[in-house]
Amino acid sequence: MPKITFLNLADDKRQLLIEALEQEFSRVPLYHASISNIVKAANIPRGSFYQYFEDKEDAYFFLLKEQILKNKENFILSLQKCEGDLFETMTELYRLTVIELSKGENINFLKNVFLNMTHEIENKFNEIFHADGDIEHFKKISLLIKRDDLNVANEKELFHLMKIVITITLRNLIEKFAQNLTEKEAMNNYLIEIELLKKGLKKI
Is a pLDDT exceeding 80 seen at residue 134?
no
Q: Express each pLDDT in 17-50 by its tens digit.
A: 999 999 999 999 999 999 999 999 999 999 999 9
Give, in degrees to the nearest 5, the angle at Cα 183 between 129 and 69.
25
Q: Can you tell me the distance from the alpha carbon of 116 to that of 119, in angstroms, rounded to the nearest whole number?
A: 10
Say if residue 118 is exposed, middle or buried (CB neighbours under 10 Å; 0-12, 13-18, 19+): exposed
Is a pLDDT exceeding 60 seen at residue 133?
no
Which segment of 77-91, 100-114, 138-152 scores lowest on mean pLDDT?
100-114
Q: Can you tell me the distance from the alpha carbon of 128 to that of 45, in angstroms, rounded to the nearest whole number?
A: 35
CB 107 within 8 A of CB 120: no
Share of the chain above pLDDT 90, in %: 60
